[in-house]
Amino acid sequence: MTANAHLADRVLVLAEGLRSRLGGTPHRAEADAIVERLSGPLRVAIAGRVKAGKSTLLNALVGERLAPTDAGECTRLVSWYRRGTGYDVGAVLHDGTRRALPFNRHDGELSVQLDGLREADVASLDIRWPSRALAELTLIDTPGLASVNDENSRRTRDFLESDEHGPTDADAVVYLMRHLHRSDVAFLDAFMDRSVTAASPVNAVAVLSRADEIGAGRSDAMDSSRRIAARYLSDPDVSRLVADVVPVTGLLAETGLTLVEQEAAALRTLAATPDEVLERMLLSADELRDPHASELTVDLRDQLLGRLGMFGIRVAVAEIRRGATTAAQLGPKLVEHSGLPELQRVIAEHFLPRARVLQARSALAAIRTLARHVGVHDPALASGIDRDAEQLEASAVEFGQIRAAHLVASGVVTVADRERYDLQRLLLSGPTPAALGLDESAGTDAVQAAALETVSHWRARAQDPFADPRMVEVAETAARTGESLYAAAMR
């Protein structure tokens, strides 16, 4: 393993070595878990206050109704959704053993039987599902925070908050909030793991959930929500904790992805209502339920309300009148209006390209925790583990790169437009000629010349005696990146 190997690969080598050295000890399972998290997909937790719409959003990201979404606190256990070759649900107990559980689906949603187990016996649920959406991401649904049952909130805090007892099992988090509350900021602050060099919010994204309700279900509700999201992101207390704030109407996204022709037919009937009657019906849920207003039964109208909400019904009627009359035509239009594509873009741009770095960061934090646990019985071995982790961390430029990229993208560090573009390319493109603005086929001489020019420019910026300390940090990171690209070209 060379110094130029990917950071995650170097951390994996360290973890595998620890697994061998700790064989036969109580700490072997910890080392196994670190290797497993480095070898699998990125782990993304979905968190938020009670009734923020976490399970609905999870269903939208998976692309099918899977997680239960009833109005109560249906998610009382941390539930892992992983890619599987078949359909399988199990309970992971506190001792690490897994017990298969019986389950069925009602209206698409999973109904899991604990089969004699108490909730207190179960550490988490493990759901394996053959979904393509779970190939790159393992999604983790968590109980609601600020629950009337504090045990539910405690499970989420214990699972996600990084503290002296250890790092979170999630590599990244999508945090849902209906309004910005002080407790939301406090939770995101606790999630940020500061035990690793250059802690940054690159592994957290906030979702302004149920965004249609912010605008009272009006047709311009999503526009209002986008303005609110932008205002939140401009707040320094928020921008230091999340990479972005995105408004999403999870219910509309979930329904758009699972819309059936029977529902489209009901919506077509509604859209065919005379304008003067339809306009009144779309004023409120009570007006929509007027028994004399439409050929649709009140029960069917209630079902549409449950699946779409008033905002979704207004959007659906407008799109049907524009020509999207079938479920296959209408579903994608609803998804487009929901804000889900923007969240998927943020995940694709902020999480997936850095997945291995985020996993390495989580794994290094876990290795540091493992060292503390080992130190109780074998201080010398623990010291060696901690030293190896520290040396690996100190040699890694990747952590600094993602922090510097966030400082620039969030506007904390202000640079000229050209420099902003160059920095984003340099810091996020990886060890390729493209990071220097060159074609991938560029020769060694051209790469080294461009790398030296980059080092010279950013080293000079870092030495400006009047520069803000965070500007100096960004410039130093950019210079180190240029040096690593120069070294890589020599191989």
Nearest to 243 by CA among 110, 412, 74, 361: 412
Distances (CA, A) of 414 to 423, 457, 473, 474: 12, 17, 13, 10
Could you tell me the two tokens for 59?
């269903």
Question: Is residue 70 pLDDT above 60, yes or no?
Answer: no
Structure tokens at 80: 């892992």
**CB-based contacts of 300, cutoff 8 Å, min separation 6:** 266
Q: Work out the angle between the directed axes of helices 261-271 and 298-321 (0-180°, nearest 10).
A: 80
Residue 392 has pLDDT above 90, yes or no: no
Lowest mean pLDDT of 166-170, 280-284, 338-342, name the range.
Answer: 166-170
pLDDT tens-digit readout, 424-465: 889 877 778 888 999 888 899 999 999 999 999 999 999 999
For 248, phi then psi, to 5°, come to -140, 135
Task: Decide if 288 contacts 313 (C-beta within 8 A).
Answer: yes
Q: Average pLDDT over the chain, rounded to whole?
A: 86
70-102 burial string, b = 16+ CB within 10 Å, else e? eeeeebbbbbbbbbeeeebbbbbeeeeeeeebe
* Residue closest to 64 by CA, chosen among 246, 215, 257, 273: 257
Mean pLDDT of 149-177: 76
Q: What is the pLDDT of residue 18?
A: 92
Q: What is the rounded average pLDDT of the residues 403-417?
A: 82
Q: Residue 379 — very low, low, confident or very high, per pLDDT cuts 50/70/90? A: very high
Chain centroid to CA 342: 13
**Range of lowest pLDDT (119-133, 151-165, 175-189):** 151-165
In whole angstroms, give the CA distance from residue 104 to residue 158.
29
The residue-averaged pLDDT of 384-392 equals: 89
CA separation for the pair 10, 15 (Å, rounded): 9
Rounded Cα distance between 149 and 438, Å, is 57
User: pLDDT above 70 covers what percent of the chain?
Assistant: 91
φ, ψ at 207 (rounded to 5°): -115, 125
Q: How many CB atoms lie within 10 A of CB 195?
A: 17
Closest CA to 418 of 404, 438, 437, 392: 437
Residue 227 identity (one-letter amino acid): R
- Residue 5, classified by CB atoms within 10 Å of its CB into exposed (0-12), middle (13-18) or buried (19+), is exposed
pLDDT at 255 over 70: yes
The residues with which 125 forms a beta bridge, in sequence order, are 79, 91
pLDDT band at 126 (very low <50, low <70, confident <90, very high): very high
β-pairing, 204-209 vs 172-177, is parallel
Q: Which segment of 35-49, 229-243, 253-267, 437-451 scores lowest on mean pLDDT?
A: 229-243
Q: Read off the tokens for 198.
A: 């250059």
- Asked which of 75-84, 194-203, 288-297, 357-366 is least confident by mean pLDDT, the reply is 194-203
Task: Extract the tokens encoding 263.
Answer: 């529902």
Q: Measuring CA to CA, which residue among 227, 108, 328, 321 is closest to residue 313?
A: 321
For residue 55, give both structure tokens.
């399970």
Is residue 4 scored above 80 in pLDDT?
no
Give the pLDDT confidence of 312-345 residue by residue, as tens digits: 999 999 999 999 999 999 999 999 999 999 999 9
What pLDDT score does 80 carry? 94
List all residues 6 or more positions away from 353 whose beta carbon is below 8 Å from its beta carbon.
428, 430
Q: What is the DSSP letter of 133?
A: G
pLDDT score for 456: 96
Q: In the structure encoding, which two tokens stand for residue 445, read together? A: 């001489």
| pLDDT(415) > 80 | yes
Report the range out of 9-18, 143-152, 173-182, 391-400 with the highest average pLDDT: 9-18
Window from 71-75, 76-80, 154-158, 250-254 with minimum mean pLDDT: 71-75
Which of the residue ranges 127-136, 391-400, 405-414 has the most confident prediction, judged by mean pLDDT? 127-136
With a cut of 80, say whether residue 366 has pLDDT above it.
yes
Residue 474 has pLDDT above 80, yes or no: yes
Please, what is the Cα angle at 206 between 200 and 208, to 5 degrees?
160
Query: Mind listing the pLDDT tens digit for each residue in 95-122?
Result: 889 999 998 887 777 888 888 888 888 9
Confidence of residue 196 (pLDDT cuts 50, 70, 90): very low
pLDDT tens-digit series, residues 208-243 = 988 888 766 677 889 889 999 999 888 877 877 888
The DSSP result for 433-470, as a single string, is GGGGT--TT--HHHHHHHHHHHHHHHHHHHT-TTS-HH
User: For residue 210, what is the DSSP state?
Assistant: S
Q: What is the CA radius of gyration of the chain?
A: 25
Q: Let me know: does 298 contact 286? Beta carbons within 8 Å.
A: no
DSSP 347: I
For residue 291, which phi and psi values (nearest 5 degrees)?
-60, -25
- Write down the residue that tokens 């957290």 correspond to: 204
